[in-house]
Amino acid sequence: MTKPLDRRTFLTASSASIAALLLSGRSTAMASTVPTHPTPRRGITGSKVLTKEQLSKTPALIPLFDSIREIPEVIDGIRCNCGCTNPPEFYSLLSCYEAKGMARDCFICQGQGRLAVRLHKEGKSLDQIRSAIDAKFA
Protein backbone atom coordinates (compact mmCIF):
# COMPACT_ATOMS: atom_id res chain seq x y z
CA MET A 1 0.00 0.00 0.00
CA THR A 2 1.31 3.48 -0.87
CA LYS A 3 1.56 6.23 1.64
CA PRO A 4 -0.92 9.09 1.02
CA LEU A 5 0.59 12.44 0.04
CA ASP A 6 0.59 15.10 2.66
CA ARG A 7 -0.57 18.58 1.72
CA ARG A 8 2.92 20.09 1.52
CA THR A 9 4.23 17.40 -0.85
CA PHE A 10 1.15 17.67 -3.05
CA LEU A 11 1.35 21.48 -3.29
CA THR A 12 5.08 21.43 -4.02
CA ALA A 13 4.69 18.85 -6.78
CA SER A 14 1.67 20.65 -8.25
CA SER A 15 3.41 24.03 -8.24
CA ALA A 16 6.49 22.62 -9.93
CA SER A 17 4.38 20.96 -12.62
CA ILE A 18 2.39 24.11 -13.33
CA ALA A 19 5.53 26.24 -13.46
CA ALA A 20 7.15 23.82 -15.92
CA LEU A 21 4.10 23.91 -18.16
CA LEU A 22 3.90 27.70 -18.11
CA LEU A 23 7.60 28.20 -18.80
CA SER A 24 7.70 25.70 -21.65
CA GLY A 25 4.65 27.32 -23.24
CA ARG A 26 6.10 30.77 -22.75
CA SER A 27 9.42 30.01 -24.45
CA THR A 28 7.64 28.38 -27.38
CA ALA A 29 5.28 31.34 -27.72
CA MET A 30 8.13 33.84 -27.46
CA ALA A 31 10.19 32.04 -30.09
CA SER A 32 7.30 32.03 -32.53
CA THR A 33 6.44 35.73 -32.06
CA VAL A 34 9.92 37.19 -32.55
CA PRO A 35 9.64 39.08 -35.81
CA THR A 36 12.28 38.68 -38.45
CA HIS A 37 14.35 41.40 -40.00
CA PRO A 38 13.09 42.71 -43.35
CA THR A 39 14.91 42.09 -46.58
CA PRO A 40 16.48 45.34 -47.82
CA ARG A 41 14.51 46.60 -50.80
CA ARG A 42 16.30 46.68 -54.13
CA GLY A 43 17.29 50.19 -55.16
CA ILE A 44 16.42 51.77 -51.80
CA THR A 45 17.96 55.18 -51.25
CA GLY A 46 18.23 57.59 -48.38
CA SER A 47 16.42 60.32 -50.30
CA LYS A 48 13.45 60.27 -47.92
CA VAL A 49 15.50 60.51 -44.72
CA LEU A 50 14.71 63.78 -42.96
CA THR A 51 17.01 66.65 -43.86
CA LYS A 52 18.88 69.25 -41.83
CA GLU A 53 16.04 71.71 -42.47
CA GLN A 54 13.43 69.23 -41.27
CA LEU A 55 15.47 68.59 -38.12
CA SER A 56 15.88 72.27 -37.18
CA LYS A 57 14.16 71.69 -33.81
CA THR A 58 16.50 68.77 -33.01
CA PRO A 59 19.89 69.84 -34.41
CA ALA A 60 21.81 67.32 -32.29
CA LEU A 61 20.27 64.54 -34.39
CA ILE A 62 21.41 65.89 -37.76
CA PRO A 63 24.67 63.84 -37.82
CA LEU A 64 22.77 60.64 -37.02
CA PHE A 65 20.19 61.22 -39.75
CA ASP A 66 22.98 62.12 -42.20
CA SER A 67 24.75 58.84 -41.34
CA ILE A 68 21.53 56.86 -41.82
CA ARG A 69 21.07 58.52 -45.23
CA GLU A 70 24.51 57.19 -46.27
CA ILE A 71 23.71 53.50 -45.62
CA PRO A 72 20.02 52.99 -46.48
CA GLU A 73 20.64 49.48 -47.81
CA VAL A 74 21.82 48.44 -44.33
CA ILE A 75 19.22 50.31 -42.26
CA ASP A 76 16.42 49.02 -44.52
CA GLY A 77 17.39 45.47 -43.53
CA ILE A 78 16.87 46.05 -39.81
CA ARG A 79 13.63 45.65 -37.91
CA CYS A 80 12.73 48.47 -35.55
CA ASN A 81 12.32 47.21 -31.98
CA CYS A 82 10.90 50.33 -30.36
CA GLY A 83 7.24 49.38 -30.22
CA CYS A 84 6.21 53.05 -30.23
CA THR A 85 4.09 52.57 -33.26
CA ASN A 86 3.78 50.20 -36.14
CA PRO A 87 2.03 52.01 -38.98
CA PRO A 88 1.50 49.89 -42.07
CA GLU A 89 3.74 52.19 -44.11
CA PHE A 90 6.74 51.42 -41.84
CA TYR A 91 8.87 48.71 -43.44
CA SER A 92 12.10 48.85 -41.48
CA LEU A 93 14.24 50.99 -39.19
CA LEU A 94 14.84 53.23 -42.21
CA SER A 95 11.14 54.15 -42.11
CA CYS A 96 11.67 55.64 -38.63
CA TYR A 97 14.06 58.18 -40.15
CA GLU A 98 11.70 59.17 -42.97
CA ALA A 99 8.31 60.91 -43.32
CA LYS A 100 6.92 61.05 -39.78
CA GLY A 101 10.46 60.99 -38.46
CA MET A 102 9.65 58.90 -35.41
CA ALA A 103 13.38 58.61 -34.70
CA ARG A 104 13.42 62.31 -33.75
CA ASP A 105 11.72 61.41 -30.47
CA CYS A 106 12.45 57.72 -29.88
CA PHE A 107 15.62 56.73 -28.05
CA ILE A 108 15.29 53.10 -29.21
CA CYS A 109 15.22 54.10 -32.89
CA GLN A 110 18.15 56.42 -32.28
CA GLY A 111 20.10 53.76 -30.38
CA GLN A 112 19.56 51.15 -33.06
CA GLY A 113 20.59 53.64 -35.74
CA ARG A 114 23.75 54.68 -33.90
CA LEU A 115 24.74 51.06 -33.30
CA ALA A 116 24.11 50.11 -36.94
CA VAL A 117 26.13 53.08 -38.21
CA ARG A 118 29.05 52.35 -35.86
CA LEU A 119 29.14 48.64 -36.70
CA HIS A 120 28.90 49.35 -40.43
CA LYS A 121 31.88 51.72 -40.15
CA GLU A 122 33.75 48.88 -38.40
CA GLY A 123 33.11 46.69 -41.46
CA LYS A 124 30.47 44.41 -39.94
CA SER A 125 28.04 42.59 -42.23
CA LEU A 126 24.29 43.13 -42.15
CA ASP A 127 23.84 39.82 -40.32
CA GLN A 128 26.40 40.83 -37.68
CA ILE A 129 24.70 44.20 -37.25
CA ARG A 130 21.29 42.52 -36.90
CA SER A 131 22.66 40.14 -34.27
CA ALA A 132 24.15 42.99 -32.26
CA ILE A 133 20.92 44.98 -32.44
CA ASP A 134 18.88 41.94 -31.41
CA ALA A 135 21.20 41.32 -28.47
CA LYS A 136 20.82 44.89 -27.24
CA PHE A 137 17.27 45.88 -28.21
CA ALA A 138 15.10 42.79 -28.81
Q: Are residues 125 and 70 in the same domain?
A: yes
- For residues 72 and 40, give the distance between their C-alpha atoms in angstroms, rounded to a whole number: 9
pLDDT at 18: 58
pLDDT at 113: 97
Its domain, for residue 9, covers 1-33
pLDDT at 15: 55
Q: Which residue has the higher pLDDT, 5 or 43?
A: 43
Residue 127, amino acid:
D
Contact 129, 113 (CB under 8 A): no
The pTM assigned to this predicted structure is 0.73
- Is residue 51 domain-resident? no
Q: Are residues 63 and 129 in the same domain?
A: yes
**Number of separate domains in the chain:** 2
- Is residue 112 domain-resident? yes
Statement: residue 99 has pLDDT above 80: yes
Q: Are residues 74 and 29 in the same domain?
A: no
Q: Are residues 68 and 131 in the same domain?
A: yes
Confidence of residue 10 (pLDDT cuts 50, 70, 90): low
